[in-house]
């Protein structure tokens, strides 16, 4: 939390007029009602949040966002126990409560209370304090299922934190386990208990009663079975990205969540990329107008990942002789043809148009090119006589998926992992006022923007000035903490959100319904391609709740 000075009002039932007293954040304020005032947008929206020092009997499920005309501190007080946040500094403060904007005049509390009392009936829809509630579990005990290269990235993030204990790790690969333990030792922390006895030993880790949550960063085919087992064992899940092996698996994970109520976070780190979050911020400010069309994808030459033994750069082995992902990922290219990695492209744009939260995907269809790239690579590196040159890959080199959304937007996803090309996820966000398109890997100056009546007519502008100006408050606040973290810092944010939500027992910004919807693209795209591009209905995993679920991702600078 930053060092904003908070001005808290003492309030007692007996006293009619509140007395203003200044408190720095976290200083004990026995009867102060509002503890936390944070700058959530560059245009000075604030979230008021109840902190740990509420007097007994106060409702903790309240918060409000205040838009201030300038960056002055907010005076705020909680004045009753029901729907009872009022905030005022001077004339003209506008206060957003349950999506309603109410302009506060200094003593116009009566109207505010009336309005918010009405809105309070629907409070559970927004559940604001459940978004940013106070810490109720200061220490989180973690297990890691799979500590390959990605699992070790999560491990590194966790080792930096003093509010996390690494209890145990499960991975059948003893070399990977040794690498992970070495990282723990280097951080000066206690060695984790190891589960290395085959691919099912993670189940013994799940039996432990000293673990709150697990990261799952295993090969794709293991994600959902392990996630479901973890939820059934009462362990909160942080799940890595990929696509489902079967559509039914998506239903199974949702149904397990609904049965157990054990939450799962979809660890889609690209949602937290700095340029993506700035564009998300611009979208939410209405800069692009009404959103019409979005694009994204996974356009990454993976040939050196899909082949190789980790030693010789010309090696084209995979499977048992492979290293890291070539051990298992390449096998998916042998038998399936679909968008096998949809979430990096879909997740970021999904949050911009509130999929599963007021919007949803209804249909998709996919087409694929022929398969050439992997075979060519084997021949080029290993020679035409290499045994793998005889292998037939079913996966087409480029898969294009078009998606229709309930609110009228379209999305195009592109999977392009087998051809020579520089890395670029191909994002485009287009609305009725203009668009952003990027061609780099996350830097603010590798995109272009055009905004009607702002940009010179019919000319692209560089994106840097815009993305710097609309830098998301989360990045403004935590960019220093994110320095050195994986993927340009975005891994800090995704893991930080996972841990902070667990500490507060609040909803994850990217949840099991997002995971099911995004993962479902894989089996549905495979089916569509098999059927010659036939349109597939995308299930509503929320069972209608998408109509009332509220956005969580990116709505504040908390996490």
Ligand X SMILES: NC(=O)c1ccc[n+]([C@@H]2O[C@H](COP(=O)([O-])OP(=O)(O)OC[C@H]3O[C@@H](n4cnc5c(N)ncnc54)[C@H](O)[C@@H]3O)[C@@H](O)[C@H]2O)c1
Q: Which residues bind ligand X (CB under 6 A)?
A: 145-146, 148-151, 170-173, 176, 199, 202, 217-220, 222, 240-242, 269, 324-325, 327, 487
Q: For ligand X, give the closer residue by CB, 28 or 311.
A: 311
| Cα 268 to Cα 296: distance, rounded to the nearest angstrom | 14
Provide the minimum distance between the beta carbon of 220 and ligand X in the complex, in angstroms, as a whole number: 5
Q: Dihedral sign, CA of 168, 169, 175, 178?
A: negative
Q: For ligand X, give the closer residue by CB, 27 or 321.
A: 321
To which H or E segment does residue 376 belong?
helix 373-382
Provide the minimum distance between the beta carbon of 150 and ligand X in the complex, in angstroms, as a whole number: 3
Helices then strands, counting H and E runs in the chain, come out as 17, 24
Cα distances (angstroms) measured from residue 1 to each of 24, 37, 353: 11, 10, 29
DSSP 287-355: TT-SEEEEEEEEE---HHHHS--SS-TT----GGG--GGGGTHHHHHHH--S-S--HHHHHHHHHHTTB
What residues have CB less than 8 Å from 449, skipping those under 6 apart? Answer: 434, 435, 436, 455, 460, 461, 462, 463, 466
| Cα 426 to Cα 412: distance, rounded to the nearest angstrom | 10
Q: For ligand X, give the closer residue by CB, 197 or 248.
A: 197
Q: For ligand X, give the closer residue by CB, 332 or 549.
A: 332
Q: For ligand X, give the closer residue by CB, 73 or 172.
A: 172
| Cα 390 to Cα 160: distance, rounded to the nearest angstrom | 46
Q: What phi and psi values does residue 328 have, to the nearest 5 degrees?
A: -135, -30
Provide the minimum distance between the beta carbon of 383 and ligand X in the complex, in angstroms, as a whole number: 26
DSSP 61-80: S-EEEEE-SSSPPPEEEE-S
To which H or E segment does residue 115 belong?
helix 109-120
Provide the minimum distance between the beta carbon of 275 and ligand X in the complex, in angstroms, as a whole number: 16
Provide the minimum distance between the beta carbon of 400 and ligand X in the complex, in angstroms, as a whole number: 21
243 contacts 250 by C-beta, under 8 angstroms: no
Q: For ligand X, give the closer residue by CB, 171 or 194.
A: 171
Q: Which pairing describes strands 434-438 and 428-431: parallel, antiparallel, or unpaired?
A: antiparallel
Provide the minimum distance between the beta carbon of 223 and ligand X in the complex, in angstroms, as a whole number: 6
Q: For ligand X, give the closer residue by CB, 22 or 312.
A: 312
Q: For ligand X, give the closer residue by CB, 47 or 265.
A: 265
Provide the minimum distance between the beta carbon of 241 and ligand X in the complex, in angstroms, as a whole number: 5
Provide the minimum distance between the beta carbon of 156 and ligand X in the complex, in angstroms, as a whole number: 12
Q: For ligand X, give the closer residue by CB, 269 or 444.
A: 269
Buried b (16+ CB within 10 A) or exposed e, 194-226: bbeeeeeebeebbeeeebbbbbbbbbbebbbbb
Provide the minimum distance between the beta carbon of 190 and ligand X in the complex, in angstroms, as a whole number: 21
Closest residue to ligand X, Cβ-based?
148
């Amino acid at each position: 939390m930053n060092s904003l000075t908070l001005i808290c009002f003492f309030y007692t039932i007996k006293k009619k007029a509140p007395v203003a007293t200044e408190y720095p954040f976290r200083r004990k304020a026995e009867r102060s009602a509002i503890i936390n005032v944070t700058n959530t947008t560059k245009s000075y929206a604030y979230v008021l949040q109840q902190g740990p020092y509420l007097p007994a009997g106060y409702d903790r499920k309240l918060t409000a966002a205040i838009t201030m005309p300038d960056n002055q501190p907010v005076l705020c007080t909680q004045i009753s126990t029901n729907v009872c946040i009022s905030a005022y500094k001077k004339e003209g403060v506008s206060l957003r409560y349950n999506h309603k904007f109410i302009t506060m005049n200094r003593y116009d509390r009566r109207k505010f209370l009336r309005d918010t009392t009405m809105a309070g009936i629907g409070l559970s829809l927004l559940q604001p304090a459940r978004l940013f509630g106070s810490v109720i579990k200061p220490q989180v005990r973690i297990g890691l299922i799979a500590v390959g290269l990605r699992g070790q990235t999560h491990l590194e993030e966790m080792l930096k934190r003093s509010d996390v204990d690494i209890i145990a790790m499960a991975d059948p690969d003893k070399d990977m386990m040794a690498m992970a333990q070495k990282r723990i030792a280097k951080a000066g922390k206690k060695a984790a208990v190891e589960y290395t006895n085959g691919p099912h030993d993670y189940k013994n880790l799940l039996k432990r009663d000293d673990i709150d949550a697990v990261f799952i960063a295993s090969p794709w085919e293991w994600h959902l079975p392990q996630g479901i087992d973890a939820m059934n064992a009462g362990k909160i899940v942080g799940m890595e990205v990929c696509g489902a092996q079967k559509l039914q698996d998506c239903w199974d994970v949702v149904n397990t969540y609904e049965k157990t109520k054990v939450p799962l976070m979809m660890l889609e780190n690209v949602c937290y990329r700095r340029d993506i979050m700035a564009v998300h911020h611009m979208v939410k400010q209405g800069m692009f107008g009404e959103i019409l069309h979005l694009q994204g994808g996974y356009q990454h030459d993976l040939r050196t990942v899909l082949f190789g033994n980790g030693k010789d750069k010309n090696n084209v082995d995979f499977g048992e002789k492979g290293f890291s992902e070539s051990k298992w990922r390449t096998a998916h290219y042998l038998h399936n043809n679909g968008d096998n990695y949809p979430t990096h492209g879909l997740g970021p744009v999904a949050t911009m148009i509130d999929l599963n939260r007021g919007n949803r995907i209804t249909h998709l269809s996919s087409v694929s090119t022929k398969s050439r790239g992997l075979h060519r690579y084997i021949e080029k590196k290993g020679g035409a006589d290499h045994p793998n040159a005889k292998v037939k890959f079913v996966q087409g080199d480029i898969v294009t998926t078009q998606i229709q959304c309930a609110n009228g937007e379209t999305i195009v996803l592109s999977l392009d992992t087998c051809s020579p090309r520089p890395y670029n996820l191909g994002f485009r966000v287009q609305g009725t006022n203009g668009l952003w398109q990027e061609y780099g890997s996350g830097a603010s100056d590798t995109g272009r923007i055009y905004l009607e009546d702002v940009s010179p007519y019919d000319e692209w502008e560089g994106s840097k000035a815009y993305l710097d100006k609309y830098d998301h408050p989360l990045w403004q606040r935590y960019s220093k903490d994110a320095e050195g973290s994986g993927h340009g810092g975005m891994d800090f944010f995704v893991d930080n959100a996972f841990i902070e939500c667990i500490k507060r027992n609040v909803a994850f910004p990217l949840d099991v319904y997002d995971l099911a919807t995004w993962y479902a693209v894989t089996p549905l795209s495979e089916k569509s391609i098999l059927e010659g591009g036939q349109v597939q209905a995308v299930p509503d995993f929320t069972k209608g709740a998408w109509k009332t679920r509220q956005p969580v991702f990116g709505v504040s600078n908390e996490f």
